[in-house]
Amino acid sequence: MLLNPVISKLSGKLVVLASASPRRLEILSNAGLRFEVVPSWFKETLDKSLFKNPYDYAVETAKQKALEVAHRMPFKHLKSPDVVIGADTVVTADGLILEKPTDKEDAYRMLSRLSGKEHSVFTGVAIVLCHDKSDYKVVDFYEETKVKFAELSEEMLWEYINSGEPMDKAGGYGIQALGGMLVEYVKGDFLNVVGFPLNHFCKQLGLIFNSPPESPAHKVKRESDEAWTLVSSLSESAANEEVELLKNGKDGSRMSMQEQNVIGTECSRQDIPHSIISLLDGFKASKTLFTASKLKVFDVLNSSNSQTLEEVAGQINASVLGTERLLEAAVSLGLLERVKQNTEQASRFLVSDSPESLNGYILHCNDMVWPLFSHLENAVREGTSQHERAFGKKNEEVFQDAYYSKDEVKIRFMDAMHSIARVTGKDVATAFELSSYKTACDIGGCTGAMAYEFTKAHPGLSVIVFDLPQVIEMRRHFQPKETDDRVSFVAGDFFKDDLPKADLYILARILHDWSDEKLHVLLSKLSKMCTPGCGLLVSEIFLDEERKRPSRALLQALSMTEGKQRSPTEYRDLLEKHGFTPNLYVIIFLGTRVKDHFISQNALPVFYTYNLVFRIAIPLSVIRI
């Protein structure tokens, strides 16, 4: 195979495809290339009138896609690619560039224009060689293929359009699928029409990796990370005027396309509020995760990755078009490895029957938290919970439903609590040396997921799970396959009933839920139960002292429940008021390294663990998840 001579050159390199196109992914995968998919955020809004030829436009778009990913990955993905591949395919007819149709009428206009005529398909490709974070070399090229359509009747046109296939295809058709029935002949590279000119790409790789240092690459140097951005970030009028002026030169002479490529990058530098733009789209990412989980996408893909798109759509009871777009979005968010394959994390945390599944908690966020936040404006104005607007019930009634209603509702809520405790329980249980404790009581321990992790981590410890009778009654639905007789369950209300006697009391995700008055009742009981040598372990999301760093706790507080979020100091003060002598140690759970300060930035909960004992000193621990 033509690609084989350069495979060894790419071995050990991080090769990235800056496209979510399943067609390009399939073409390159079939060629034996190993790569990651990181779809580009570059907005395809370049002014086509600035380009003399359609292929110049396709090449420039491909280059900007690849450069955006090459720049973003070291900072957003915390890894630097060696090679980034960008591509853009356009269809041209009668001198016009036909991209993806915006609606059915637009698809009809495109296909009518192509009916009975020969047209050109151009794919621009850019290969970015990333030597370091400030110096890129770019090889770009294009491929042209001629395609002739048969005369299309109105009936055939609309039958094809109503299939949904044209809506995400350049020129309004996909030659590799139903659109192939419209084609009379093809002159040139067939795969180029599908979306990627594999033959030309392989030849370019051979030139790059098998040639002397004088490669066909030109440099694109980035002077500062802060100033770097893309052509699309400029206002259209300013960008068009500035780029046109520079392309023509001071004396009006036309610059080469290679010089224009470098100028295009230089012209695009200005400050852009990337953090604000990320926040603008944050809700879309969350809802993509929620929807994929609710439709059981990860379960379906876990059973087999050899299914067709139509088969996946049938199993999740969705349209083919909607399924394809959902899968492509999931790939872009890193939830899927490719359009029909789970990532390792998705298999661990998103498949519903996985031992570490977060599926229950994700569905809880979709069904219970999302509706609340859709009324955030009212919550802020009124300073009250929006349960009545969201669910037609007051906060107390929603709580009653969770614990006292039909089994189905109760199990759904318990499943949410069970899934988050199951994923985080081991880290909480192993945060401290607890060998001196013989008995523990997990207050509000729900299904016992946390308790089982404590007994696994500490062979000499037995744990009592203390929760409402309605919760204890339903625990059988969540018991692990291998039961542990060191975990027992006691029914009761921790505000009203006596607490079981224990050496260690565990409060995991409890304190933030309740008002100061109710916490006074609970903590006063605990204070009376504890004797010298007893311990209290509190696991909570915590705020940084100045409320400046990103925190899930600050966002969670906007739900306006009766409880509140606290910083480490505020938790210490709360507990000291009830007679506890604190030794404060912080456990930070996150996905990046921790230095000498507190950070709260990961997608999973961040836990502040506070250990209150009278005679035991416990070292500071930093845990990564």
Q: Which residues participate in catalysis according to the annotation? A: 88
The answer to whether 271 touches 226, Cβ cutoff 8 Å, is: yes
3-class secondary-structure state, position 213: coil
The answer to whether 239 touches 264, Cβ cutoff 8 Å, is: no
Strands 336-338 and 341-342: antiparallel
- Among residues 362, 221, 387, 225, the alpha carbon closest in space to that of 294 is found at 362
- Among residues 106, 147, 294, 141, the alpha carbon closest in space to that of 218 is found at 141
CA angle centred on 573, ends 568 and 576, rounded to 5°:
120
3-class secondary-structure state, position 123: strand
What distance in Å separates the CA atoms of residue 386 and residue 368, rounded to the nearest whole number? Answer: 11
Length of the chain: 625
- Among residues 313, 425, 369, the alpha carbon closest in space to that of 561 is found at 369
Task: Give every strand in the sheet of 535-540, ordered side by side.
Answer: 487-491, 462-467, 439-443, 504-508, 535-540, 608-613
Residues linked to residue 59 through DSSP beta bridges, in sequence order: none
Strand runs (DSSP E) across 487-530, as ranges?
A: 487-491, 504-508
The answer to whether 584 touches 614, Cβ cutoff 8 Å, is: no
How many CB atoms are located within 10 Å of the residue 187 CB?
12
Strand runs (DSSP E) across 38-151, as ranges?
A: 83-93, 96-98, 118-132, 135-149
Helices (H), 119-235: 154-162, 190-194, 198-210
- Among residues 61, 202, 73, 67, the alpha carbon closest in space to that of 138 is found at 67
Strand runs (DSSP E) across 413-526, as ranges?
A: 439-443, 462-467, 487-491, 504-508
What distance in Å separates the CA atoms of residue 296 and residue 291, rounded to the nearest whole number? Answer: 8
DSSP state of 512: G
The answer to whether 447 touches 475, Cβ cutoff 8 Å, is: yes
* Centroid of chain to Cα 589: 18
